[in-house]
Structure 1
Amino acid sequence: METLAKTGRIFYGTMIACLGAQQIPYADFRPVIFPPWLATMPDLAALAYLSSALLILCGLAIIFEKKAREVSLVLGGVFLLLILFAQVPFELIKDPYYKHLGVWINPLKELVFADGAFAVAGIYPPGNKEGKLLQVLDKFIPLAGTFMSITMILFGVDHFLYVDFVVKLMPAWMPGPVFWTYFAGVALISSGITIILKIKLKLSAILLGVTIFLWFILLHIPRAIADPYGAQGNELTSVFEALGFSGIAFMVAGGYNSWKQTK
């Protein structure tokens, strides 16, 4: 189980660092990090570069375990703030289709980013002299797994609402794309529910992690190779996200807060 948690932590840290690096060539925020509120802002590039540097440093700190707990707690808090005060308002105010579940993909993905950060933080016991902010953020650690599961359930529902769109994402060589679309939807919804309810938690999280990792290899990498620059590298972003999401599932399966269980 410790190996699962370690693997998941490295996958997650790699995702964070790569998302930060991906912003640099475009001098812009990835929409999954920050919605396009600031498109006309003159200092947008400078802000994007700064956020890129911070994300890269956070990712490396998580990978190499340099203040990983503190970094992850703050990172998780930042992601939650971005969801509440940037992603959600953007959808409600700027997106005329906000009533459609499919347009909420970026806020839901960022919720998984926050989930992963708190899962990483839960790997390590708290320090003796943590400040008030870290003590408050520590309260979110038990929700790691739940945030991810909410997104997985809603993404599973998307597979039934937007069948034609999802079918187009399937590799051309894969037979029965409609079947696999529904199968994936059921798998996501089932894993999300069982993780939230802690029914066969480790098994459910392992199966979810393996499933997403297979999508990382069979679906997202080939699509990124075929179209690495479209929509400012959106397919490449999906590669990083799939790796990170599988890592979060592995951390949940590996008992990310096992120090509490052995205390």
Structure 2
Amino acid sequence: MDGLTRIGRLLYAVAIVFFGLQCIGSGSGRGPVPAAGPPWVQTQRGLALLFGCALIAAGMCLVLRWYGRAAANTLGVGILLRGLVIYLPTLLASPRDPRPWTSLFELAAMGGAALVIAGTFPSEAAGQRRGSQWLLVETGRWLFAVSLVVFGIQHLMYSKFVAALIPAWIPGHLFWTYFTGIAFLLVAASLVSRIQVRLSAGLLGLMFLLWVILLHIPRVAKVRGFSGNEWTSLFVALAMCGASFVLSEALQERWKSSVRSNGKS
């Protein structure tokens, strides 16, 4: 397995563990109320603790490679179900509001990424290397691609809002906003067409990593105390960075393996 996949999986897992800790903090009544965003929403105390522990357990399984495939599949399905139950009704009720679009498709991207990550682990049972897992990986690829389309359109539609988030010392705020939106659309096209996936997804991961370093860490450091919104945004970007790195290598390897298998049959 390529080192980029291992790094991406680790970054994604770190973000998931943080989300679990943040969820437990909010559920205990001692921590700050988390942002109403992925991969959960504010809920009853008992459920917040349960979901938080589940996220931490899933993240640790990914890091330790202990039942990694089962943990990643369960995590992916769970994140996607929360998106469908919580955010899809809100989006349908207020389709002109960009917030449910962002939350739903951040969940779709991270849930889809978890399904792809599951495919990077060996099967826990004999005879399960292809088949149903291959279908889940392909589903994850499409979910990630569709999410990028939504993110790209949002960057173009709400360019002034996005540009205001860019640090003042970086010139050309609107240029970088449009550049990012177009980049999302191009990577989505690459994932769908399977053309230059390794390059495009790898560059996307690098872009998210630069966001973490140049945008989100300074914003977190600037806010006094603990800001649920800023910390959530930081670790969403970290999760997307890791997911992009995994997609960059894992999809290419799976397609090559599929071609070799078909050639032998």
User: Does residue 220 of the first structure (1) align with residue 216 of the second (2)?
Assistant: yes
Question: Compared with structure 1, are the counterparts of its residues 234 and 29 closer, same or farther at alpha carbon in structure 2 (3 Å cutoff)?
Answer: closer
Q: Which has the higher contact order (CA 8 A, sep 6+)?
A: 1
The match for 1:51 is 51
The match for 1:200 is 196
Contact 2:149 2:188 survives alignment (8 Å)? yes
Q: Which of 168, 187, 190 does residue 191 from structure 1 map onto? A: 187
Question: Compared with structure 1, are the counterparts of its residues 11 and 206 closer, same or farther at alpha carbon in structure 2 (3 Å cutoff)?
Answer: same
User: Does residue 106 of the first structure (1) align with residue 112 of the second (2)?
Assistant: no
Partners of 2:20 and 2:188 in 1: CA distance: 28
Contact 1:144 1:252 survives alignment (8 Å)? no
The match for 1:172 is 168
Partners of 1:83 and 1:129 in 2: CA distance: 32
Q: Which amino acid in 2 is paired with 1:144?
A: G
The match for 1:33 is 39
Contact 1:119 1:144 survives alignment (8 Å)? yes
User: Does residue 18 of the first structure (1) align with residue 43 of the second (2)?
Assistant: no
Partners of 1:69 and 1:201 in 2: CA distance: 23
TM-superposed deviation, 1:80: 1.9
User: Does residue 87 of the first structure (1) align with residue 87 of the second (2)?
Assistant: yes
Tell me, what secondary structure is at the counterpart of 1:124? coil
Q: Which of 114, 117, 120 does residue 117 from structure 1 map onto? A: 114
Trace 1:155-166 onto structure 2 (pairs within 5 A).
155-166=151-162
Deviates more, 1:208-217 or 1:116-125: 116-125
Q: Which runs of 5+ in 2 are unaligned?
A: 28-32
The match for 1:182 is 178
Question: Compared with structure 1, are the counterparts of its residues 65 and 108 closer, same or farther at alpha carbon in structure 2 (3 Å cutoff)?
Answer: same
Question: Compared with structure 1, are the counterparts of its residues 3 and 228 closer, same or farther at alpha carbon in structure 2 (3 Å cutoff)?
Answer: farther
Question: Compared with structure 1, are the counterparts of its residues 90 and 138 closer, same or farther at alpha carbon in structure 2 (3 Å cutoff)?
Answer: farther
Q: Percentage identity across aligned positions?
A: 29
Deviates more, 1:73-82 or 1:209-218: 73-82
Q: Which amino acid in 2 is paired with 1:34?
A: W
TM-superposed deviation, 1:3: 0.3
TM-superposed deviation, 1:92: 2.8
TM-score (norm 2): 0.86
User: Does residue 211 of the first structure (1) align with residue 207 of the second (2)?
Assistant: yes
Partners of 2:177 and 2:64 in 1: CA distance: 37
Q: Which amino acid in 1 is paired with 2:75?
A: L
TM-superposed deviation, 1:228: 6.2
Trace 1:57-96 onto structure 2 (pairs within 5 A).
57-93=57-93
The match for 1:127 is 124
The match for 2:30 is none
TM-superposed deviation, 1:50: 1.2
Partners of 1:129 and 1:235 in 2: CA distance: 43
TM-superposed deviation, 1:73: 0.9
TM-superposed deviation, 1:229: 5.2
Contact 1:17 1:59 survives alignment (8 Å)? yes
Q: Which amino acid in 2 is paired with 1:201?
A: V
Q: Which of 228, 237, 242 does residue 233 from structure 1 map onto? A: 228
Q: Which amino acid in 1 is paired with 2:243?
A: I
Output one character per residue of 1:214-256: Cα deviation in whole Å (capped at 9) or x when no partner.
11111111111112657x5111111111111111111111125
Q: Which amino acid in 1 is paired with 2:106?
A: K
Partners of 1:48 and 1:189 in 2: CA distance: 35
Question: Compared with structure 1, are the counterparts of its residues 110 and 229 closer, same or farther at alpha carbon in structure 2 (3 Å cutoff)?
Answer: farther
Output one character per residue of 1:73-128: Cα deviation in whole Å (capped at 9) or x when no partner.
111111222222222123334xxx32344531111000111112112111023333
The match for 1:41 is none
CA RMSD of aligned residues (A): 2.5
Contact 1:123 1:258 survives alignment (8 Å)? no
Partners of 1:130 and 1:75 in 2: CA distance: 22
The match for 1:248 is 243
Count of matched residue pairs? 251
Partners of 1:137 and 1:109 in 2: CA distance: 22
